[in-house]
Each structure stands twice: as structure tokens, then as C-alpha cells.
Structure 1
Amino acid sequence: MKKILIVAPAWIGDAIMAQPLYMRLHQRHPGLQLDVLAPAWTRPLHARMPEVHQAIDNPFGHGELGLRKRWQLGRQLKAAHYDQVIVLPNSLKSALVPWFARIPLRTGWVGEARYGLLNDSRKLDPYALPLMVERFVALAEPAGQAFPRPAQPRLSVDTAQRDTTRARLKLPTDLPIVAICPGAEYGPAKRWPARHAAALSLALLERGYQVWLFGSDKDAPIAGEIAAQAPGVVDLTGKTSLSEAIDLMSLARGAVCNDSGLMHVAAALNLPLVALYGSSSPEFTPPLSHRAQIVSLDLDCAPCFERTCPLGHMNCLNELEPQRVLDTLLPMLPSPITKFGV
């Protein structure tokens, strides 16, 4: 049985975009045991990926070197006798543990001059592989070999946990639900203004839809602004775990999300999705779903990829009107008169 370890990304969206790589590896190696080394907060995602046999917690914080701790973890992983490791982050630090583990084949893009740590290092042509998911999937193949079109990520849903969570939060499902994900951990230049999200929410409520706001406790301030301006929305930010949020989002009949981790969750749940792009670009990290529609103003100053607007006006999102988003979303939704049971 072949055993492969993945050093997985830390961001939720990137972790989801790595799933097509896992699918491809299983196609190439029937009976594969695939483990991931990843931050603990991504464990709920990997638990919903049937391709992943085991998630191993990566205990290192952003920028932390911790050479001794990396050596100790590497020696522990050596006992698992992996045949190959694929290192997805491009940092030198991310390649240290596999090297300490003496995994025979260590694959990844060249990154921070880590030639000595990787013995199957690839030189990336960003023009040939413009999408992040393509850069991940290409590492499933021998160097220079073509790869098939990446599959769409698919997260499984725990229906029993979903029912328990819904009952705990007393959430009705008699009317179709629209999920709105107003946060973006990277920074405010990715967040559609609260007043726009509130206007969209009011338009949906007036048409007979439910609106549920999803996010972590870090998203609670912007969600609170939306809820104050749009009475009737259900604010779930900070009230669910990531695992519970995945389950509850599966009840939605549509979603509106900033370019964020939860946008990729919505895509992996195959929800009809309107994805809002401001400072970032769908040319690199689009939602991987045929049911997603991207809305962007394509201003000359975008994408800037900055956390905050360097020009101070954030026109890329401030001028993205709620009516445009509503016009994109409504044809994707069922009629609000339809009743949905669970």
C-alpha cells in the first residue's frame, strides 16, 4: 500500500483547493493511504474529505521556526514510513519536517531555495499554471507530465450533527435559506460593506427568503452591523464551530460570499453561489464550482491583493451595488413559496 503525506496549507480556502490533488492521487494510486499535516483549525475540513485517512496537527504558528520541535515531529513521522511527501506551502520551513522524517520522495515547487530539502523540486511557470488548484494538482504527476482537469472539491455533510445543531439554535427551515458570509480574514479590502449586505438581506427577506449570516467570532462585528440594519436576519457568526457551519450551510439554497474560506466551503457544498471579488482576483483562486457566479467591477486599480485599500476609497467593493448582486442571485434561487423540510 502506497503512503503519501501532504503538508497542507493553513488557510481554509487553500485547504479546500487542495482536495482535487487528493482526488487525483487516489486515481493514480488505488488503495492509497493519504495523510495530511495541517493546522488544527483545518481538521474539520479534512474530516469532511473522504480522500484523507488521517489529519496530523501541525503545531507551528505563522513564522515560527522551532527547529527542535520540527526535528522531533519529523522523527515521529519517520516511523510511519511514508513513500512520498508533497509540500504545498512554498516556505523553506514547511519542507523541514519531511526532511527530518527522511521521507524518500519529497515533492514541491522550488519556493524559498529549498533544493536541499526537496529531492523532487519543480520550477513553477505561473503563466502555464495560473490557478492555485492547478499548481496543487500538477504535483500529483511526474515532473513535466500533463494532468487532467482538476475535479470539483466536495465536502461531506454530517446530517445527524446538522439536526442537533439546528435544534440547539432553534433554526427553522420552512422557507428557503440564503447564506451570506460577510467576513474575510485576510483583511477589510476583501469585505463587501455591511450596508450593502444589509440592503441585499432586506431585499431577500421582503421576497420571503431566510437570511443566515455565517462566520467566526472575528466576523461578529460586521455581522452585527448587518443585523442592526436588516432586522430578521439570523446571525450565526461565532455561534458555531467550523464543522457545524459546514453542516448548516448545506441547508442553504444559495450563498453570497466574499473571497474567503467560507466561499470555498459554499462551492464545495455545491451551493448556487455569488462570489464577490474586490482586492483579490478570481484569476488565481476562483470558487471551484460550476454553480458559482463571480461579481466584480474589474476596476483599473484591482486586484491589488492588499489587506486594506492603498488608495483609501475601496471603490472595488463600495461601488458594487446590492442590486447587481440581487439580480445575479435571484435566478439561481428556488421560489420562496416552496417549503423545505429537513
Structure 2
Amino acid sequence: MIAPQWIGDAVMTEPLLRRLHARGEQLTVGALPWVAPVYRAMPQVKEVIEFPFAHGGLQLRARRALASRISGQFDTAYVLPNSLKSALLPLLAGIPKRIGYLGEARIGLLTHRLKNPAKGNRPPMVAFYSALSGDTAVESDRPELQLPAGEVDEALAGLGLQRGAYYVFAPGAEYGPAKRWPAAHFAGLASKLPLPVVLLGSGKEAALCNDIAAPANGVKQGQCLNFAGKTTLVQALCAIAGARGVVSNDSGLMHVAAAFGVPQVAIFGSSSPLHTPPLNERATVLWLKNDASYQPPLDCAPCFERECPLGHTRCLNDISAERVLSAL
């Protein structure tokens, strides 16, 4: 399988892999290094091949070299991204059956093609990926990730954490500020919690996390630990798996928390939980769009914009720390 390049999308492919494994297929996943650990937390995956590719460009030399190495090893390829370059490797490797959605002039690259639904009619992403299995009835199964308890405890010990003795905040969202609950709100929530808070994110989100940690620690010393950019993805997965609860925006780490079944509050702004919800019975989604008591109604949501076109970002600013605390 050729994996998506985003953590959240990778998590949402797990039900597809579970279906394929259940019918006897042995699964190897080709993934970029920053999503490969997600697939190592899926027991049905036999092997993960980390792609030596970077963002942008066809990088034909690297793809040809990898294709030569894996040639003759596989009979079917499931190509999950919609890009042309993602379908090149299975073709170059001579894999006879290549399954994926139509997109980016891929008619000659795929042997079995599904019509890409229009954006307005696209099903939730789990069902969208699971349809590649060819099953006639595809349900939105809950993605599940699993890590050995010993591995989690060892990683937590290395971070100075104890299972269940902290909360995790994931305040970032790669897409843009219209998906990010304000840092001041996160800080206010952190200062009200009875346990310490671990802040997770990439190095690019270190400053954002510091804007949360500094005021929260000013109220309660040592309340926030800013781990943004200081953990591997494996450590971040373990930190989420061992948390008392998670608060996040609509992001990849939101889907990780859901797949581990951790109690969570997911805050939605410009995007929609109808399309990419956290599939977790222990999740609470806060989205003012579907809150009948919120006035005036958010007729502008979901706009799916990176920044609020109207300049107010009411969809996020008007969700209080007290409301999230109550939900958590």
C-alpha cells in the first residue's frame, strides 16, 4: 500500500488495512518517514518501507531505484494518495494490479480505478479509503492503533511521565490558524486542570506552545511541559496513549488520540466533524456550527479556509476554556 503523507490520513486508513488483512492479504506499507511510525502501531501490517522521497517533484531516480529493489515482490498495490507521483512506484515496480482513485491523469498508471467523488458528496475519510477494498458495503469503522504496554511505559519514563498522570494538548494544526483554538484559551484551560499538561507538536509549533506554557506556568509553576519539536513521533504516540485525556484541534494528533481510545475533546473551527470526526466513543466534539444555543448562528461555517475570511474567527474564539474543561 502507498500511504498518505499526513498523520491523520494515515490513521484513517487503518480500517482498510484491517479489512484486507482479514481476507488473508499480507500487507506491506510504503510510507514517508514522518508517518511510518503510525503504521508500525497497526498489528496487521507485516512490514513498513520508509520512502526516501521528499516533498515536491517526481524524483524519478529515487523511485526507479526503489522500484528495482521491490520488483517481483508484490501482486497488488493500493495507491491511497490521489497524486500522479504516488502511482509511479507501483508501475515502475511492475506490480500487476494497481488500485486507486482517479486523479491527476492517472488512467494509464492504475489498472483498477474508482471514480473520485465530488467534494460535496465525498463520504467520511475512513469510508473513502475503505472503499478501495472493493467491498460493496463499507462502514465507517473506528481506526485502532496498538502499542505494546512495555514500549509505552519505557517511552514515558524517558520523558519523565507516568501513565494517566498528565493531560496532552495538541494545539497546532498544519492547515492554518482557522483550525487553531487560541493559545490564550489553551493556557486558561491548562491552569484549571488538576494534573500537568504535556504540549505536543512539531518544531514549527514550539513558539505557539510556549505562548500556552508561559502564562499557565505563571499561574501554576510546572503546569505545562512544552515538548513541541522535542519528541519523535513514536514518543508522541506513546505520550498520547498514556494520557489521562487529550485536547486538540482538528489535526493528525486528534485522530491518533481517537485511535488509542483516549478520552478527548476535539475543537473544530473552519473544518467539519461531519467529514473527519474523531471516531472514538470517548470523544466530545465542540463545534459551534451545530450548537443551536449559540447566537447569532455561524452561517459561515464550515468555510474550510486557512484564515477566517471575515476576520473574527468566532467559531474558535467563542469556545471558552470553561466549556472545554466541562467536556473534558
Q: Retained in 1: the 8 A contact 2:172–2:249?
A: yes
Can you list the C-alpha shifts for 1:10-57, whole angstroms capped at 9, x where unaligned? 000000001110001112x22x21011110111211111111111112
SS of the equivalent of 1:108 reads strand
Map of 1:252 onto structure 2: 243
Q: Retained in 2: the 8 A contact 1:105–1:120?
A: yes
- State yes or no: 1:118 paired with 2:110: yes
Deviation at 1:172, TM superposition (A): 4.8
Q: Give the unaligned 5+ runs of structure 2.
A: 218-222, 290-297
What pairs with 1:85-234 in structure 2 (closer than 5 Å)? Answer: 85-126=77-118, 129-141=122-134, 145-172=135-162, 176-204=165-193, 208-231=194-217, 232-234=223-225
SS of the equivalent of 1:218 reads helix
Can you list the C-alpha shifts for 1:126-163, whole angstroms capped at 9, x where unaligned? 5665111111001111xxx5234243222222433433
Q: Retained in 2: the 8 A contact 1:23–1:151?
A: no
Can you list the C-alpha shifts for 1:183-228, whole angstroms capped at 9, x where unaligned? 1122222111110001111121xxx233222222222111111111
Q: Retained in 1: the 8 A contact 2:16–2:133?
A: yes
Q: Retained in 1: the 8 A contact 2:156–2:238?
A: no
Amino acid at match of 1:244: Q
Please give the TM-score of this superposition, normalised by the length of structure 2: 0.90
Deviates most, 163-172 or 302-311: 163-172
Amino acid at match of 1:187: G
* 1:36 aligns with one of 26, 29, 34: 29
SS of the equivalent of 2:266 reads strand
Amino acid at match of 2:208: I
* 1:68 aligns with one of 56, 61, 72: 61
Deviates most, 249-258 or 300-309: 300-309
Amino acid at match of 2:87: A
Q: Give the unaligned 5+ runs of structure 1.
A: 1-5, 330-342
Amino acid at match of 2:111: N
- 2: distance between equivalents of 1:269 and 1:86? 25
Percent identity of paired positions between Structure 1 and Structure 2:
48
Can you list the C-alpha shifts for 1:220-240, whole angstroms capped at 9, x where unaligned? 111111111111222222222
Give the count of matched residue pairs: 314
What pairs with 1:284-299 in structure 2 (closer than 5 Å)? Answer: 284-298=275-289, 299=298
What pairs with 1:41-52 in structure 2 (closer than 5 Å)? Answer: 41-52=34-45
- State yes or no: 1:59 paired with 2:52: yes
Map of 1:340 onto structure 2: none
Amino acid at match of 2:153: D
- 2: distance between equivalents of 1:115 and 1:233? 51
Can you list the C-alpha shifts for 1:99-123, whole angstroms capped at 9, x where unaligned? 1112111111111221111110111
- 1: distance between equivalents of 2:307 and 2:53? 27
Amino acid at match of 1:110: L
- State yes or no: 1:10 paired with 2:9: no
Deviates most, 262-271 or 71-80: 71-80
- 1: distance between equivalents of 2:157 and 2:166? 16
Amino acid at match of 1:14: D
- Please provide the CA RMSD for this pair: 1.9
- 1: distance between equivalents of 2:237 and 2:130? 24
Map of 1:309 onto structure 2: 308
Deviation at 1:242, TM superposition (A): 1.0
Q: Retained in 2: the 8 A contact 1:17–1:132?
A: yes
- 1: distance between equivalents of 2:26 and 2:158? 36
